[in-house]
C-alpha cells in the first residue's frame, strides 16, 4: 500500500486515547507483510517484530521504534434534558478551535453531530472578546433525550469529522496526523528495511495513550526491554506567528532532538548517518524530558538509551494538522539506515559515555 493511502486510512480512522482498538486491524494488516511477528499487548499496543540477521537469537540487539496511535478527542460526560451532549476533552485541546466543528459521537453506532453554543446575538457585546469555554458548549446529534440515551452512553469517545485533504506539493492536512504520521514513518521504515540487511531485531510499536499518560510506551518498553528506544512524534511546524527558534520547517526532513532525554552519542551517530545518506534533517532542542514516548522509554527499568525524531507538523492539536509527506519518507529512510548501521560489534562503543 502507498504510505499516503495508509496514512489517510489512519487519520480518517478513530482512536481517541484509551479507545485505539478500532485502528488495530488497519495497522496489523498493513504491517504484517513486512514483519515476522505481530501482536497486541494488554493495553492495546500493537507490537511488530522484524528479525535481524544476527545468528545468536539470545544476543540479538533490540531496537524499539514507537509512534503513538492515539489521537486527542472528546468524551461524553452528560446528556441534557433535551438530548444535547455535554463533553470533556481527552488530551490537550484549545476550546477556540472546536466551535462549529462537525463531530462523530462513537456510541452504539457512529452518530453525526455539531458543536454549538449560545449564539453571538444573545451575548453581551463584551462577551464577544472572550473565548467560549468547553463546558459551555454542547454537541447536538439531533435526537431527543430518550433516543440519545439509547444510542449514547456517558464515557463514549467523540472525534472531529475531518477527512484528509490534499494540498500543493505533497502536503496533506487531517485531524490525527499527530501521531499517525509517526505510524506512517514506521511503515516507510519497514519497507526500506525490507530492501537492506540489518543485524538487529526491530520492534515496531504503535503505542496507546501517549496524549494522556504515555501508558502505552511505558508498558511496551518494559515488556520489550530494548537496547535502544526511538520515538517518532511530530514537531511544531514553523508558521508566521511562532518564534523561529521554537519551530522546525516543513519539507526539511525530520527534526533530531537534542537534550537530556536523548542519548548524546547515539544522536551523533544518527546525524552522521543522515549526512552519509544525504537525508535532510533539522535540529530541535529540548533541555529536559520531552513530552513524547521518548520520555517514557528513557526512565523504564534501569534506563533505556533513547532518541527522538519529530516530523514537522503545523497547527498541532487542531483538526487541520498539516504536514509534508516527504518528511515522513525521509524519517522512514533515516530510521532504516540507522538501524542497518547498528551491530553487536559497534553498539557498546556507541552507548559509552
Using the rule CB under 8 A, which residue among 1, 25, 53, 77 binds other proteins?
Answer: 77
Binding of other proteins by 215 (CB under 8 A): yes
Burial class (CB in 10 A: 0-12, 13-18, 19+), 324: buried
DSSP code, position 248: B
Binding of other proteins by 76 (CB under 8 A): yes
Could you tell me if 4 and 78 are in contact, meaning their C-beta atoms sit under 8 angstroms apart?
Answer: no
Binding of other proteins by 42 (CB under 8 A): yes
Binders of other proteins in range 263-292 (CB under 8 A): 263, 283, 285, 287-289
Using the rule CB under 8 A, which residue among 19, 187, 203, 338 binds other proteins?
Answer: 19
Using the rule CB under 8 A, which residue among 102, 135, 150, 276 binds other proteins?
Answer: 135
Binders of other proteins in range 237-256 (CB under 8 A): 243-246
Compute the distance between CA of residue 60 and CA of residue 52 in angstroms, rounded to an integer.
Answer: 8
Compute the distance between CA of residue 38 and CA of residue 24 in angstroms, rounded to an integer.
Answer: 11
According to DSSP, the residues that pair with 185 across neighbouring strands are: none
Compute the distance between CA of residue 16 and CA of residue 206 in angstroms, rounded to an integer.
Answer: 14
Binding of other proteins by 81 (CB under 8 A): no
Binding of other proteins by 258 (CB under 8 A): yes
From the CB of 279, what's the least distance to other proteins, in Å?
19
Residues 6 or more apart from 233 whose CB is under 8 A from it?
67, 68, 178, 179, 182, 210, 292, 293, 294, 308, 309, 310, 311
Residue whose cell numbers read 497486541: 40
From the CB of 87, what's the least distance to other proteins, in Å?
9
Considering the complex, state which of residue 131 and residue 352 has its C-beta at the smaller distance from other proteins.
Answer: 352
Binding of other proteins by 219 (CB under 8 A): yes
Which uninterrupted H or E stretch holds 106? strand 102-106
Binding of other proteins by 43 (CB under 8 A): yes
Binding of other proteins by 261 (CB under 8 A): yes
From the CB of 177, what's the least distance to other proteins, in Å?
22
Q: What is the DSSP string of 49-94?
A: EE--S-S-GGG--EEEEEEE--B-EEEEEEE-TTSPEEEEEES---
Using the rule CB under 8 A, which residue among 18, 73, 107, 113 binds other proteins?
Answer: 18
Considering the complex, state which of residue 152 and residue 311 has its C-beta at the smaller distance from other proteins.
Answer: 152
Catalytic residues, which ones? 210
Label residue 185 left, alpha or beta by phi (over 0 means left) and psi (-120 to 50 means alpha): alpha
Using the rule CB under 8 A, which residue among 222, 242, 275, 346 binds other proteins?
Answer: 222
Give the interface segment with other proteins, choosing from 16-24, 102-110, 171-179, 332-340 (CB under 8 A): 16-24
Give the interface segment with other proteins, choosing from 3-11, 107-115, 219-227, 336-344 (CB under 8 A): 219-227
Considering the complex, state which of residue 157 and residue 332 has its C-beta at the smaller distance from other proteins.
Answer: 157
Binding of other proteins by 212 (CB under 8 A): yes
Q: Please report, for residues 21, 109, 117, 312, the alpha-carbon distance to residue 157 in angstroms, rounded to integers and kept in the order given.
A: 12, 12, 20, 27
Q: What is the CA radius of gyration of the chain?
A: 21
Q: Please report, for residues 226, 288, 297, 347, the alpha-carbon distance to residue 300 in angstroms, rounded to integers and kept in the order given.
A: 10, 16, 5, 20
| Binding residues vs other proteins (CB under 8 A) | 17-19, 21, 41-43, 45, 75-79, 86, 88, 90, 135, 153-155, 209, 212-213, 215, 218-220, 222-223, 243-246, 258-261, 263, 283, 285, 287-289, 298-305, 351-353
Amino acid at each position: 500500500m502507498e504510505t499516503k493511502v495508509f496514512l489517510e486510512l489512519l487519520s480518517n480512522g478513530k482512536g481517541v486515547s484509551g479507545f485505539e482498538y478500532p485502528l488495530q486491524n488497519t495497522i496489523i494488516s498493513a504491517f504484517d507483510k513486512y514483519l515476522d511477528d505481530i501482536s497486541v499487548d494488554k493495553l492495546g499496543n500493537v507490537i511488530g517484530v522484524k528479525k535481524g540477521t544476527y545468528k545468536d537469537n539470545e544476543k540479538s540487539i533490540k531496537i524499539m521504534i514507537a509512534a503513538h496511535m492515539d489521537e486527542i478527542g472528546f468524551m461524553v460526560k452528560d446528556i441534557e434534558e433535551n438530548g444535547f451532549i455535554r463533553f470533556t476533552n481527552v488530551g490537550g485541546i484549545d476550546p477556540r478551535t472546536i466551535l462549529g466543528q462537525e463531530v462523530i459521537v462513537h456510541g452504539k453506532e457512529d452518530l453525526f453531530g455539531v458543536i454549538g453554543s449560545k449564539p453571538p446575538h444573545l451575548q453581551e457585546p463584551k462577551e464577544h472578546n472572550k473565548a467560549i469555554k468547553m463546558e459551555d458548549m454542547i454537541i447536538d446529534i439531533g435526537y431527543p433525550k430518550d433516543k440519545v440515551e439509547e444510542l449514547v452512553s456517558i464515557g463514549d469517545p467523540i472525534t472531529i469529522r475531518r477527512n484528509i485533504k490534499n494540498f500543493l506539493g505533497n502536503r496533506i492536512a487531517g485531524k490525527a496526523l499527530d501521531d499517525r504520521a509517526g505510524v506512517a514513518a514506521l511503515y516507510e521504515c519497514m519497507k526500506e528495511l525490507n530492501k537492506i540487511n540489518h543485524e538487529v531485531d526491530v520492534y515496531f510499536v504503535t503505542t496507546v495513550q501517549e496524549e494522556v499518560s504515555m501508558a502505552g510506551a511505558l508498558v511496551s518498553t518494559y515488556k520489550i526491554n530494548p537496547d535502544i528506544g526511538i520515538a517518532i512524534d511530530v514537531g511544531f511546524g514553523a508558521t508566521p506567528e511562532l518564534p523561529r527558534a521554537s519551530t522546525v520547517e516543513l519539507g526539511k526532513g525530520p527534526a533530531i532532538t537534542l537534550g537530556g532525554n536523548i542519548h548524546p552519542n547515539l544522536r551523533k551517530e544518527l546525524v552522521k548517518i543522515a549526512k552519509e545518506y544525504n537525508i535532510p534533517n533539522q535540529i530541535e532542542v529540548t533541555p529536559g524530558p520531552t513530552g513524547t514516548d521518548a520520555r517514557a522509554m528513557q526512565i523504564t527499568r534501569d534506563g533505556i538509551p533513547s532518541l527522538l525524531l519529530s516530523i514537522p507538523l503545523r497547527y498541532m492539536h487542531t483538526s487541520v494538522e498539516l504536514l509534508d509527506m516527504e518528511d515522513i519518507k525521509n524519517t522512514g529512510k533515516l530510521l532504516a539506515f540507522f538501524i542497518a548501521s547498528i551491530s553487536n560489534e559497534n553498539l557498546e562503543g556507541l552507548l559509552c559515555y
